[in-house]
Structure 1
Amino acid sequence: MVLVSSGVYQESVAVRRPGVTLRGADRSRTVIDGEFKRANGITVTGKASVVENLTVRNHLANGVLFTGVTDERLQGSGAGGAGYDPLDTAEFPPLKGFRASYVTAYNNALYGIYAFDARSGVIEHSYASGQSDSGIYVGQCDPCDTVVRNNTLEHNAIGVEVTNASRDLYFLGNVMRRNRVGMTVNSNNLEALGPQHEAVVVGNTITDNNDDRSPEQAEGGYGIGVGVGGGTRNRFERNRVEGHRVAAFVLSDVQGYPVKANHVTGNAIGRRDTALVLEARRTGGNCFAGNGASPTSPAPLPRAAASCPGQDKPLTAPGRTRPVDVPPGISFKEVTAPAPQPGMPTGTTSQGRPAYRLPGPVDLDGYRLPSSVRD
């Protein structure tokens, strides 16, 4: 274990050896500061390594990057690959074993906590705000064997982003609020391992993602709870999704990837929200059931998509998102710094726990429908 004293460290950190625990003595006062000069705060390529109980801020790419990409020239692009060119997964096999716990990431130009070409990991009890792209990003893994749980994401362009990340991938009990978009689940032909498939999103609070004091999202997304672009066979259950100007869920075909066989069931959607927009030529076997009586587009929703499992039928006309005035974003450098976040309960007294044999058992029944923030 490397225990880092409180202080502001104006440097980048590379963790290349396996089984390292990098821990701050104080979550809010042990700070890796990029000064808006350096790309990544902490880059982890050593398997089963851990970053916990510290803050990363003010980087031109990522706060924390977990990746199997060992070529530092590619890491400097901030994307984990060569400027989003598809990565050679044979040349760079995935990092196996990683964990981020009690990390605060803010005001970074791309991602707060980024797992790319990495598997068998956990991201938990962390906070991210002010990222120009997303607070937490999981990309290019199949299977991922990863759990993202009990994190808070706010004032980012996107709270949580998932691209070409598939199978044994769980998002549980997170709070995604006051971003421009709460969550995106995408297939992308600029990265390897498409199409995205079989993520599980349960028990999350996804509310009021209409923030005008956040960085503008590159694709212009705004006012959306969950966007699924070309994703396949994902499950969205027992999430509270409310307070969105455009829609709670938007399912779209993108880049030649049809959106197919996604199950959206048993979620609580705000009465004033458009519950679902299906921007596709076919129902694609997607299904939407048990989510309340909020309106959909198309309306009424075809019977083929209104119960689970869904059926693949042509749509007379695709759904359309409601037009809204999208406010301009602000620079990621200008987003207000967050308040101090709770540190690790054990502080500096516990031994390091390398990230072997993660993520461990996943208990979906332990994540119930969150109560309404409006109650």
Structure 2
Amino acid sequence: MKTDQVVLRGTDRNKVVVDGEFRRGNGITVTGAQSVVENLTVRNHLVNGVLFTGVTDTQLQARGAGGAGYDPLDTAKFPPLKGFRASYVTAYNNALYGIYAFDAREGVIEHSYASGHADSGIYVGQCRPCSTVVRHNSVEHNAVGLEVTNASESLHLLGNTVHGNRVGMTLNSNDLEALGPQHTAVVVGNRVTDNNDGAGPEQAEGGYGIGIGVGGGSRNTFARNLVTGNRAAGFLLQDVQGYPVRDNTVHGNRVRGNGVDLVLGAAGAGGNCFAGNAERTVSPGRTAGTARCGSGGYALAGGGRAAEVVAPPGVSFRRVLPPPAQPQRPGTADSAPVPAKGLPGTVRVQDFPLPG
């Protein structure tokens, strides 16, 4: 029986451990509305660490709840989970995703850590409107640090540290999940650095050395992000699976010291705007800006390429080194539980500056 408003809290984030021992599938599966997982560690599972989902079919959950290998889920049969929160969770060395919100809305993922995942550390997929905030998390040594697929509208990725993955952050559209194409996410104040990891699992599509990738996403906003040290590209925007990348705004970021700072690999410009990013290298060259770009804005012609890099072989998710101890949830272990009601609340994008 499904129960709503469950708060699952560890008394010690680093000592309360849900260990799959590389034998069990999902660590914690949440299908009850307005439920919370906080202040604990989940590791060594053969599918996901923590899964928030409206998918109640246990066979589908065992396969990951969303993604490749089956047709897009029927959103009428499996209405989204409404209300979820992950706070101060450590997820490492799970086969696919660390913290995975799929077919779920009205949530927050915050102050959490994820490493050693062969898909992504934190994932938000198949929601519209998502009404979800992903903030103040740290992801490293993953194939992809932070991933969004077919997740659109009222989705904010704020103040995260995305460092030392093979690919830092991706916003994707595809036909493996419902609700494509992806659009209108807000990505602000994130630190996306040195995503050239040789000590984590390989990315399934071979991606490596990319800071922020947009595959077929549209009308997304990227502002005040620090994107540096990514050997192939800082930003890489490209069409995928018949979904054009268009009308994205990349402004006021600091994008320097990457293989190529800004790359538009799409067949055409698609209305994407670039302005004030402190970039030094772009591919292909700049073209005239549009009215939507504003003063100093410009477009790229399309057909650009990232720098060529040789990706080192990845390692098994089982072999990624465990992380150091992570900060505890504030407050006492017996403080009153707070269910995930009314989330994400007021989102103050202005509180997330460009990282130093």
User: Given the two structures, how large is their TM-score scaled by the length of structure 2?
Assistant: 0.96
Structure 1 partner of 2:110: 124
SS of the equivalent of 1:227 reads strand
Contact persistence 2:9–2:37 (CA under 8 A): yes
Q: Which residue of structure 2 lines up, in the alignment, with residue 237 of structure 1? A: 223
Give the TM-score, by structure 1 length: 0.91
In structure 1, which of residues 300, 303, 310 is the aligned counterpart of residue 288 of structure 2? 303
Distance in 1 (alpha carbons) for counterparts of 2:179 and 2:70: 13
Q: CA RMSD in A?
A: 1.9
Name the SS of the counterpart of 1:122 in structure 2: strand
Instruction: Count residues in correspondence.
Output: 355
**1:147 matched to 2:165:** no
Corresponding residue for 1:12? none
Mapping 1:35-50, distance limit 5 Å: 35-50=21-36
| Distance in 1 between residues matched to 2:142 and 2:148, nearest whole Å | 15
CA deviation vs aligned residue, 1:23-43 (integer Å, no higher than 9, x gap): 011100000011111110000
User: Within the alignment, does 1:135 sit opposite 2:121 as a pair?
Assistant: yes
Partner of 1:322: 307
Distance 1:332 1:306 in 2: 47
Structure 2 vs 1, CA of residues 293 and 49 (structure 1 numbering), >3 Å: closer, same or farther?
A: closer
Establish whether residue 79 from structure 1 lines up as the match of residue 62 from structure 2. Answer: no
Give yes or no for the alignment of 1:113 onto 2:99: yes
Gaps of at least 5 residues in structure 1 are 1-14
Secondary structure of the residue aligned to 2:250 is strand
- Residue number in structure 2 paired with 1:4: none
C-alpha distance in 2 between matches for 1:359 and 1:191:
24
Q: Retained in 2: the 8 A contact 1:285–1:309?
A: no
CA deviation after TM superposition for structure 1 residue 275, in Å? 1.3
1:199-240 Cα offsets, whole Å, 9 max, x none, are 000000000000100100000000000000000000000000
Letter of the structure 2 residue corresponding to residue 251 of structure 1 = L
Q: Which position in structure 1 is the counterpart of 2:232?
A: 246
Give the residue type in structure 2 aligned to 1:365. Answer: Q
- Equivalent position to 2:316, from 310, 320, 331: 331
1:102 aligns to what SS in structure 2? strand
Aligned equivalent of 1:259, options 236, 245, 248: 245
Aligned identity (percent) is: 65
Q: How far apart are the structure 2 equivalents of 1:108 and 1:309?
A: 44
Q: 1:240 to 1:264 in 2, by over 3 A?
A: same
- Equivalent pair of 1:33/1:57 in contact (CA under 8 Å): yes
**Distance in 2 between residues matched to 1:249 and 1:48, nearest whole Å:** 35
Name the CA shift for 1:267/1:84 in 2 (closer, same or farther; >3 Å): farther
State whether structure 2 residue 321 is matched by structure 1 residue 357. no
CA contact (8 A) 1:177 1:205 kept: yes
Show CA shifts across 1:340-373 (max 9, x none): 10111113031100001000000011000000xx
Unaligned runs of 5+ in 2: none
Which whole-Å CA distance do the structure 2 matches of 1:78 and 1:118 have between them? Answer: 14
Q: Within 1, Cα distance between the matches of 2:199 and 2:68? A: 31
Equivalent position amino acid for 1:259 in 2: V
Q: Secondary structure at the match of 1:319?
A: coil
Kindly state the Cα deviation for residue 293 of structure 1 after the two structures are TM-superposed: 3.5
Q: How does 1:1-375 map to 2 (within 5 A)?
A: 16-80=2-66, 83-299=69-285, 301-304=286-289, 308=293, 315=301, 318-371=303-356
